[in-house]
């Protein structure tokens, strides 16, 4: 059965890879033109289905929330008999709140684009919503009710590093919308987050895949990874660090190769990129101003 981390991780991985592809494509196409006018957005519409990415985020978050609150619990609901939240379900609410933040981001981003309102602040507001979601994710992971020590704690500690990178580059995207590297690093960090979450779900909660000397133990109606002694714990934590380091190298090599392949594919080919409604209105207003100036000169 799929674990919640794997579902959420797959969502991050798909979105990160989609962003990486689009940012490299836009950069390569704009670099081949004389204007070199690269401008990235926080989301990318498609030609056939404009809101495919945002709907994917909403669907993934909804599925994750349902799994955490209604499917995973034994009673298929997270509350105690008196209506309170039991201690063993606190982490389910924390996980669902993370997904809720990204759901809010996707829903409002779609609403802004559909209604074409507050267009001048649309870029800043969508980045703010995404930043809020990453900040919420970081805080809930940092103050997680699960074990902060041991193997699981090390996985969460390294995850926080990736979240900080995603949060920082998203905030930087407000002031530097024309920076390719800001968009590139943000896309890569989201992809890395997805891979790391899937690895966490597999190696922490799949029986038989824990490090040597460690295993799953039932505690408070849930399962925790416990090691037989300090030596086994130290080895397991070191293996987590090695996993992260290996994955960092692999992701970096993949990103550079992906960039080279797409750059060769789209270089010297100026392609039309789907604009947000904000950008479309800006272009229309600029053309109107030019027409007025020409009429005045005549």
- What per-residue confidence (pLDDT) applies to 293? 46
**Measured distance CA(96)–CA(121) in Å, rounded:** 29
Q: Where are the domains of the chain?
A: 4-297
- Bridge partners of 290? none
CB neighbours (10 Å) of residue 240? 22
Quote the CA–CA distance of 192 and 143 in Å, as a whole number: 22
Helix (H) or strand (E) holding 224: strand 222-227
- For residue 124, give both structure tokens: 């800043």
Question: Tokens 């800001």 identify what position?
Answer: 182
Q: What is the DSSP letter of 150?
A: H
Query: Which pLDDT belongs to residue 52?
Result: 95
Write down how long the chain is: 298
CA–CA dist 154, 172 (Å, integer): 28
For the chain (298 residues), the mean pLDDT of every run of 10, in chain order, is 74 96 90 65 91 95 88 76 80 89 95 76 91 96 77 93 97 92 97 95 87 84 84 94 97 97 77 49 50 45
Alpha helices in 116-145 (DSSP H): 122-142
The closest alpha carbon to 113, from 50, 33, 164, belongs to: 50
Kindly report the pTM of this predicted structure.
0.85
Please report the pLDDT score of residue 285 as a whole number: 53
**pLDDT for 188:** 97
Distances (CA, A) of 290 to 93, 133, 282, 294, 296: 54, 40, 12, 6, 10
| Distance in angstroms (rounded) separating the CA atoms of residues 244 and 192 | 10
């Amino acid at each position: 059965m799929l674990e919640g981390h794997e579902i959420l991780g797959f969502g991050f991985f798909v979105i990160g890879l989609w962003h990486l592809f689009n940012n490299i494509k836009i950069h390569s196409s704009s670099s081949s033109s004389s204007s070199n006018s690269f401008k990235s957005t926080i989301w990318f519409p498609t030609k056939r289905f404009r809101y495919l990415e945002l709907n994917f985020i909403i669907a993934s978050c909804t599925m994750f929330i349902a799994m955490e609150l209604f499917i995973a619990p034994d009673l298929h609901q997270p509350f105690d008999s008196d209506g309170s939240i039991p201690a063993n379900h606190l982490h389910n609410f924390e996980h669902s709140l993370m997904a809720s933040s990204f759901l809010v981001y996707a829903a409002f981003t779609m609403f802004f684009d559909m209604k074409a309102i507050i267009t001048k602040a649309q870029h800043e507001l969508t980045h703010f919503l995404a930043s809020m979601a990453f900040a919420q994710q970081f805080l809930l992971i940092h103050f997680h009710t699960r074990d902060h020590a041991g193997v699981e704690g090390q996985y969460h500690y390294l995850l926080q590093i990736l979240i900080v990178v995603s949060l920082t580059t998203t905030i930087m995207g407000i002031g530097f919308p024309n920076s390719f590297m800001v968009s590139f690093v943000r896309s890569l960090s989201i992809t890395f987050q997805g891979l790391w979450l899937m690895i966490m779900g597999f190696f922490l909660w799949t029986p038989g895949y824990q490090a040597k000397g460690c295993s799953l133990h039932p505690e408070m109606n849930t399962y925790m990874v416990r090691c037989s002694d300090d030596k086994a714990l130290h080895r397991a934590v070191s293996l987590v660090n090695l996993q992260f380091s290996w994955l960092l190298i692999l992701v970096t090599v993949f990103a550079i190769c992906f960039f080279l392949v797409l750059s060769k594919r789209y270089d010297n080919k100026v392609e039309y990129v789907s604009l947000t409604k904000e950008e479309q209105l800006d272009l229309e207003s600029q053309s109107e101003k030019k027409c007025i100036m020409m009429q005045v000169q005549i």
